C-alpha cells in the first residue's frame, strides 16, 4: 500500500491484513517495485492527495506498478486520482490512467454521500465473486468519477442519479466506496483481490 503521508490510510491496510494479506503501508520504492500487488488508498481532497503523492515522489511508482501488469487497487480518492482531473482541484492533473473527470455530486443531494448504498453490478468481475446480486457498500464522497469510456464501469449506485461506484481497466480495479468499511461483502472484495494476487504470482 502506498504511503504518501496524507490522511488515515491504515483502515484499508487493516482490512487487507484481516483477510490474510501481508499488507504493508510504505513509501519505499524498492518494496513497491517488488510487491505482488499495489493498493492506492486515498481520503480527503483530490488536489492535496495528488500533491502529496508527487511530493513523496511516488507518481512514477504508480505508473510502473500498473504498467507491470500486477494487480492494482484504488480506493475512494485513490479511484479519483486515477482519472485526468477533478472539479475539486482545478489545475491539478490526476494520474491519467483512466480517461475522464471527477465532478461534484449533482445538485439537490447532500454532500458528502455518507451512507450505505446498494451497488448495481454492470459487469461481472473476479473481485465481485461471492457477492450478492446488489450488495451494499459504504460510501463517503462529495464527487464522482465520469469515465470517458463507459466500458470501464463495472458497478454503479444511485444517488441523485446513477453514479460510478467501481471501475476495471485491465489489471486496475478501483472503488469509490470503502470495501474495508463495508462489512462482510466489502471484506469479500478484499479477499478476492488477495486471491487474484496469488493467481498472478503463480502465472
Catalytic residues: 76, 178, 180
CA nearest neighbour of 73 among 120, 121, 35, 30: 35
Is residue 1 a contact partner of residue 39, using CB atoms and an 8 Å limit? yes
Give the cell for residue 69: 501488469
Is residue 30 a contact partner of residue 57, using CB atoms and an 8 Å limit? no
Provide the β-strand partners of residue 178: 138
Our separate counts of H helices and E strands in the chain read: 6, 11
Contacts of 118 (CB under 8 A, 6+ apart): 134, 135, 136, 137, 157, 158
**Helical packing angle, 59-67 and 46-55, nearest 10°:** 90
Amino acid at each position: 500500500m502506498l504511503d504518501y503521508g496524507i490522511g488515515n490510510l491504515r483502515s484499508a491496510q487493516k482490512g487487507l491484513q484481516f483477510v490474510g494479506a501481508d499488507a504493508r503501508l510504505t513509501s519505499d520504492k524498492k518494496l513497491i517495485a517488488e510487491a505482488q500487488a499495489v493498493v492506492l488508498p486515498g481520503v480527503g481532497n483530490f488536489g492535496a492527495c495528488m500533491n502529496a503523492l508527487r511530493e513523496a515522489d511516488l507518481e512514477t511508482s504508480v505508473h510502473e506498478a500498473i504498467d507491470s501488469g500486477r494487480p492494482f487497487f484504488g480506493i475512494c480518492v485513490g479511484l479519483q486520482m486515477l482519472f485526468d482531473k477533478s472539479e475539486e482541484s482545478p489545475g491539478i492533473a490526476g494520474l491519467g490512467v483512466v480517461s475522464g473527470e471527477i465532478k461534484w455530486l449533482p445538485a439537490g443531494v447532500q454532500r458528502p454521500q455518507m451512507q450505505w448504498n446498494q451497488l448495481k453490478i454492470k459487469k461481472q468481475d473476479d473481485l465481485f465473486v461471492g457477492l450478492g446480486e446488489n450488495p451494499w457498500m459504504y460510501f463517503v464522497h462529495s464527487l464522482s468519477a465520469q469515465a470517458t469510456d463507459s466500458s470501464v464501469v463495472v458497478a454503479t449506485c444511485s444517488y441523485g442519479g446513477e453514479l460510478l461506484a467501481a471501475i476495471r481497466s485491465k489489471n486496475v480495479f478501483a472503488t469509490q466506496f470503502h470495501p474495508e468499511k463495508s462489512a462482510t461483502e466489502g471484506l469479500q472484495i478484499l479477499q478476492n483481490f488477495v486471491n487474484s494476487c496469488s493467481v498472478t504470482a503463480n502465472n
